[in-house]
Chains A and B, each alone.
Chain A
Amino acid sequence: MLIPNSETDAAYVIRNAAADNKPLSICGADTRGFARLNKPAEPISSRGLSGIVDYDPAEMVMTVKSGTPVSEVEAALAANRQMMAFEPMDHRGILGNKGEPTIGGVFAANVSGPRRLIAGAARDSLLGIRFVNGRGEIIRAGGRVMKNVTGLDLVKLLAGSQGTLGFLTEVTFRVLPVPPMTETIVISGLDDETAAKAMAAAIALPVEISGAAHLPQTVRSRFIDGVLPEGEATVLRLEGLTASVDVRSQKLAAVMGAFGPVGKLGMENSLMLWRQIRDVAPYADGTEKPLWRVSVAPSAGYHLVSALRLEAGIDAFYDWQGGLVWMRMEADPEAELLRRYIRALGGGHATLIRASEAGRPQIPTFEPLPDAIAALSARIKAKLDPAGIFSPGKLG
């Protein structure tokens, strides 16, 4: 494992690897390393590049080295009552590993949580980066201001590129104040289809919902120690100033009453619930059962699940108003079936987050791309990583 302890060091290592045509597998702490490469590669970790470079809470912008532990970033933000609005999930539970996730990994994998619905993904908060490209050159992109259209947006390109385009050394991102109050409205007993309608209706109201998830009967009891009311739970999160949340939750509850019995969770349970939704707690089950993360149009989520149910053993719950489906398969991943249905339902993508080693190699981890986009993506990769040394084959 290569662990450069400076950006210059990293550039040097990469330059040499490129010259020797030696593949490198870019990682942080490898807590999200679910995708496989198609040839052996030496791991190169960012964990030697650690520490907060600049954080001015008044500007709500933070710059950190890429190998900085997420926990350190979160602690520094919490001390100033701030947060990463996109609430990145922690993959350790579902993947059963123990490392210390890095901030670079969050952005390299574009990891977002329930608030993605209104606050955008990790890539939306990312303002600037420094990275080493496949030639071993140090490249800056973006900056530290929110509005910036100076040249091509390589920041977005690198975000979510899974370490296949460059080795991130530093990230600058926008942060937001932690809302003083969080409340959750629970509507009980809705089937998936009605829940999708309820969530769509809720989000059309002027109450600023910051989370909308549906937890069917099979998973409901596995959240917050089973204190959610009986039956399926459709949960809607409200955040903000206490007085404002009170008013909005009353309004929301009044409208949602038309769909089913309505309850409230209170602050503490709300915080726990949404963290567990974020981290996919029901499927942090210590198994190797195949786990899919599926992104489709919100109105397509329940169609997808009900169609698949007829052909395979699955368990699922929904975030992002129904558009993010977490799906655990009882046996086979059923990749082809799943992806065929996604295409039939208007498109989207499925990522195989977890699978047994035996089942994996035949299945593309990430959604295979249409030919034209795959060709374009390959050309882009060649421009950043001409020798093709970064995480070869990882994106398929």
Chain B
Amino acid sequence: MPEAIQFLLPRPEVLARRSIIIDDLCGLLPADCVIHEARELVPFETDAFVSYRRMPLAVVLPRTTSQVAAVMKYCHRNSIPVVPRGAGTSLSGGAIPQEDAVVLGLSRMARIIEIDYANRTATVQAGVTNLSISEAVGIDGFFYAPDPSSQLACTIGGNIGMNSGGAHCLKYGVTTNNLLGVKLVLVDGEVIEIGGKHLDAAGYDLLGLVCGSEGQLGIVTEATVRLIAKPEGARPVLFGFETSEEAGACVADIIASGIIPVAIEFMDKPAIEICEAFAKAGYPLDVGALLIVEVEGSEAEMDAMLENIVGIARRHAVLTVRECQSATEAALIWKGRKSAFGATGRIADYICMDGTVPLSKLSYVLKQTSEIIDRFGLRVANVFHAGDGNMHPLILFNANDPEEAMKAEEAGNEILKLCVDAGGCLTGEHGVGIEKRDLMRHQYTDAELAQQMAVRAAFDEDWILNPSKVFPLEGRG
């Protein structure tokens, strides 16, 4: 297994007190909420960034905010690191523990507390999955907009931690744009409420700061999110192109024309083949690249928009245009797209990049990416949110071949640096985690990182919360 990325050295004083700590935790929580047998800890050693693994000291699965608070208070007082975990679907290693850490899992706080249609809000516990909110309100004509591909499994708490996006964010924004309030357990166990059903909370935008903070500022136990009325109709349309560059240029032109579809998703040939194998959605297999463009509204509106988009696509020598004919077909098209990462497992192991670039650089970065991959002698599948420039090259490799795994990581680092150099950023929606932590210096100056860490310290002076993540280990001061 590649070991390029380091973790903080475990705190010896914590390791030395392991059995006392476990006894104490068992005293704080009901017995079935504390996991500490070695065998049972193993499955918590990683998340969906499975190349890296660390055993935790213990895992706790509280059922209430006050239990979370009790754990935080205890761990803070005893300087024990805490790694929050939702569904463990992080692609950047955000939920990977460390030997001296207590994993605080929110999977048992999975209740929808209140749905308030008059104010278009849902208040849910942090362990509620993203999709289950939309499922709960769908029958009444509403949905929760951010839709990360892992929405079936990932939790709202995790979404807030990573400021998750998704395919439909082009129109509706990411988590931070749809979050109205949170109940947050601070590092010392104090519980605060930020925001609520009203817009724009008073004081500093703590909600904005907490969103995307990767579990480093506190533990979100409840969230109030914005519900949106479902459009009258939605129609994904498939556009097949000869080359990725052509597809990329078409995306830039669609946006430049002033049309903003709900989603523009991109797949290159390998990705199309992978997704088709799983979902059998009828993606064209004879094209070099595919765009899924979704428009929504009334039939007339969708027709008008599509006419414009098809016109633009024709200018880019589109090979096939396929409008989807039924809701079932539309569902399959999205199922294929949203399962792309997992489905890749059918052919190889992968690491998934998440850099974002300005739209005008999309074609250039795609081209450079394939050059980098070629240079390393690897394979890549590209499947991503093209409308907002959020790229997801999946670098394919064999996890049982340490050398190739190393190469994949190096290639990934080069691609991410390329994104930053093109005016973009390291991560659009998966978070820094451990994966991109050591590249942070490529995007930020020392003073900038120091400023971010200083703000972090206002919440957690002693690096208790998810300490091995986000910020490079050297120079933490």
Contact = CB atoms under 8 A, between A and B. Distances in A.
The reply to whether A and B meet directly (CB within 8 Å) is yes
Interface of A: 56-61, 81, 110, 112, 116, 120-121, 123-124, 133, 137-141, 143-157, 159-161, 165, 176-177, 196-197, 200, 203-206, 208, 240-241, 243-244, 247-248, 295-300, 320, 323-324, 346-349, 366-367, 369-370, 372-374, 376-377, 379-380, 382-384, 395
A57 B255 CA distance: 10
B459 A376 contact: yes
B385 interface: yes
Given A56-B360, A124-B176, 6 more contacts: A120-B177, A154-B209, A154-B452, A176-B260, A200-B117, A204-B117
Interface string B228-251: 011110000000000000000000
Contact of B425 (A143, A320, A323): A143
B425 A150 contact: yes
B145 to A, nearest CB: 11
Contacts of A248: 298
Interface stretch (B65-73, B77-85, B191-199): B191-199
B142 A204 contact: yes
B205 A123 contact: yes
A116 B198 CA distance: 12
Contacts of B142: 204
Contacts of A370: 192
Given A57-B256, A150-B443, A157-B455, A349 B209 contact: no
Contacts of B454: 383-384
A218 B424 CA distance: 51
A154 B444 CA distance: 13
B128 interface: no
B118 interface: yes
Contact of B208 (A60, A153, A298): A153
A251 B199 CA distance: 28
Contacts of B223: none
B286 to A, nearest CB: 30
B117 A147 contact: no
A324 B458 contact: no
8 contacts: A81-B258, A116-B199, A146-B389, A148-B425, A153-B163, A203-B229, A298-B119, A373-B194
A383 B229 CA distance: 41
A377 B207 CA distance: 12
Interface stretch (B46-54, B98-106, B426-434): B426-434
Interface string B193-224: 01011111111111111011100100000000
B118 A298 contact: yes
B424 A152 contact: no
State the majority secondary structure of interface residues on B.
loop
B263 interface: no
Interface in B416-451: 423-432, 436, 440, 443-445, 447-449, 451
Interface stretch (B274-282, B340-348, B351-359): B351-359
Contacts of B141: 204, 206
Interface residues of B, number: 90
The 7 closest A-B pairs by CB, nearest first: A156-B208, A58-B256, A147-B428, A297-B197, A349-B202, A177-B258, A367-B202
Contacts of B390: 145-147
B120 interface: yes
A196 B206 CA distance: 29
A249 to B, nearest CB: 12
Contact of A58 (B201, B203, B252, B457): B252
B233 to A, nearest CB: 8
Nearest to B196: A347
Contacts of A155: 208
A134 to B, nearest CB: 10
A137 B203 contact: no
Contact of A206 (B162, B204, B230, B429): B230
Contact of B200 (A110, A139, A149, A157): A110
B198 A297 contact: yes
B470 interface: yes
Contacts of B297: 206, 208, 244
